[in-house]
């Protein structure tokens, strides 16, 4: 979500003389957009510098490769190591597992949020299972399902489903009662109120919940692939470790970061396109 900068937070110009401390170290006081961007960029520069320094000091590329070496490894992975296929496998698993989880979790969450009987039945077990880490299920799932794709999809499903259900339920519960009541007094039937008021009222926040849980799905996938897989980014990382290729490991991790960022951006774009009416929350 775009964070709106509040110029109102700035102190009025002129009048009292403002020193460095007053300008930059007044709690919660907004600074210029240019400075914000510059500081963000500076952080990356600092990270790269420290990293480079560490690589020079350690002087062992198997453990700490230089940033340049990682970029070279990254290019090499895609051009000669067939890393794109691993990325493809991982993406397929993420999308598959996530879709199956969402297809069940969203309707169930909406029902739980609107009907007390449904909530009373499903919430206690889901609440309990939510605290069991999806990765802990992997050995059990391997016993049940073997090492194939269904095991990977199930790990993601477990990781996403139980969180998502409760988030969607929460969204449904937050729909203001008055929104529904107005519809009744305008002559709408219960079914119409559900379809024309309740559902649309939940859509934007459901997409938000999907976006957040999608990020978590990556974690579970990589763990599943680290434990047992013959392809995928996690598998690639595991193999690189055996060959002491820290450069490739780092490049693979960065790839996951980029993929996560791209998905997040896609969700944000879809959200903005589909729900132009949503009021931007101003959280400074």
Partner 1 sequence: MSSLEFRDVEMEFRSRAGATRALDPISLEVPDRQFACLVGPSGCGKSTLLMVAAGLVRPTRGEVLADGRPAHEPSASRGMVFQSYSLYPWLSVRRNIEFGLEMKRVPKAERRRISSELISLMKLDGFAEAYPKTLSGGMKQRVAIARALANDPDVLLMDEPFGALDAQTRQIMQELLTDIWQRYRKTVLFVTHDIDEAVFLGDMVYVMTARPGRLRTVIPIDLPRPRSFETQSSPRFTELRSLVIEVIHEESLKAVASELAATAAS
Site residues for partner 1 per CB under 8 A: 176, 178-179, 181-188, 192, 197, 200-201, 203, 275-279
Task: Please report how close the Cβ of residue 30 comes to partner 1 at its closest, in angstroms.
Answer: 23
Task: Please report how close the Cβ of residue 178 comes to partner 1 at its closest, in angstroms.
Answer: 4
Hey, what long-range contacts does 56-61 have (CB within 8 A, 24 or more apart)? 61/246, 61/247
Q: In this structure, what token pair is assigned to residue 106?
A: 């969203």
CB nearer partner 1, residue 100 or residue 199: 199
Contact 222, 237 (CB under 8 A): yes
CA 73 to chain centre: 26
CA distance 255 to 261: 10
- Report the SS3 class of residue 186: coil
Task: Please report how close the Cβ of residue 273 comes to partner 1 at its closest, in angstroms.
Answer: 14
- Nearest by Cα to 248 from 8, 80, 21, 49: 80
Task: Please report how close the Cβ of residue 282 comes to partner 1 at its closest, in angstroms.
Answer: 12
CA distance 188 to 196: 9
CB nearer partner 1, residue 33 or residue 195: 195
CB nearer partner 1, residue 92 or residue 203: 203
Task: Please report how close the Cβ of residue 275 comes to partner 1 at its closest, in angstroms.
Answer: 7
- Left (φ > 0), alpha (ψ -120 to 50) or beta: where does 10 sit? beta
- Cα distances from 53 to residues 8, 50, 56, 247, in angstroms, run 42, 5, 5, 16
Owner of token pair 């597992």: 97
CB nearer partner 1, residue 188 or residue 231: 188
Owner of token pair 């605290």: 131
CB nearer partner 1, residue 63 or residue 184: 184
CA distance 4 to 248: 38
Task: Please report how close the Cβ of residue 197 comes to partner 1 at its closest, in angstroms.
Answer: 7
Task: Please report how close the Cβ of residue 208 comes to partner 1 at its closest, in angstroms.
Answer: 15
CB nearer partner 1, residue 48 or residue 179: 179
CB nearer partner 1, residue 69 or residue 180: 180
CA distance 41 to 152: 37
């Amino acid at each position: 979500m775009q964070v709106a900068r509040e110029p109102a937070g700035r102190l009025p110009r002129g009048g009292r003389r403002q020193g460095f401390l007053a300008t930059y170290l007044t709690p919660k006081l907004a600074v210029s957009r240019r400075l914000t961007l510059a500081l963000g960029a500076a952080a990356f520069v600092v990270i790269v510098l420290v990293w480079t320094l560490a690589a020079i000091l350690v002087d062992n590329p198997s453990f700490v490769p230089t940033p340049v070496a990682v970029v070279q490894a990254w290019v090499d992975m895609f051009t000669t190591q067939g890393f794109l296929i691993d990325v493809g496998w991982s993406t397929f698993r993420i999308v598959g597992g996530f879709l199956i989880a969402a297809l069940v979790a969203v309707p169930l969450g909406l029902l739980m949020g609107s009907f007390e009987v449904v909530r009373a039945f499903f919430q206690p077990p889901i609440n309990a299972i939510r605290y069991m880490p999806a990765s802990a299920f992997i050995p059990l799932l391997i016993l049940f399902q073997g090492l194939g794709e269904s095991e990977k999809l199930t790990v993601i499903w477990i990781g996403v489903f139980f969180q998502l259900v409760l988030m969607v339920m929460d969204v449904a519960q937050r729909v203001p009662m008055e929104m529904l009541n107005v519809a009744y007094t305008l002559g709408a039937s219960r079914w119409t109120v559900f379809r024309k008021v309740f559902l649309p009222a939940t859509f934007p926040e459901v997409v938000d919940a999907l976006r957040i849980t999608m990020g978590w799905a990556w974690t579970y996938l990589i763990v599943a692939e680290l434990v047992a897989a013959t392809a995928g980014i996690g598998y690639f990382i595991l193999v690189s470790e055996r060959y002491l290729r820290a450069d490739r490991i780092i490049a693979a991790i960065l790839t996951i970061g980029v993929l996560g960022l791209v998905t997040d951006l896609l969700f944000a774009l879809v959200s903005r396109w589909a729900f132009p009416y949503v009021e931007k929350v101003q959280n400074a």
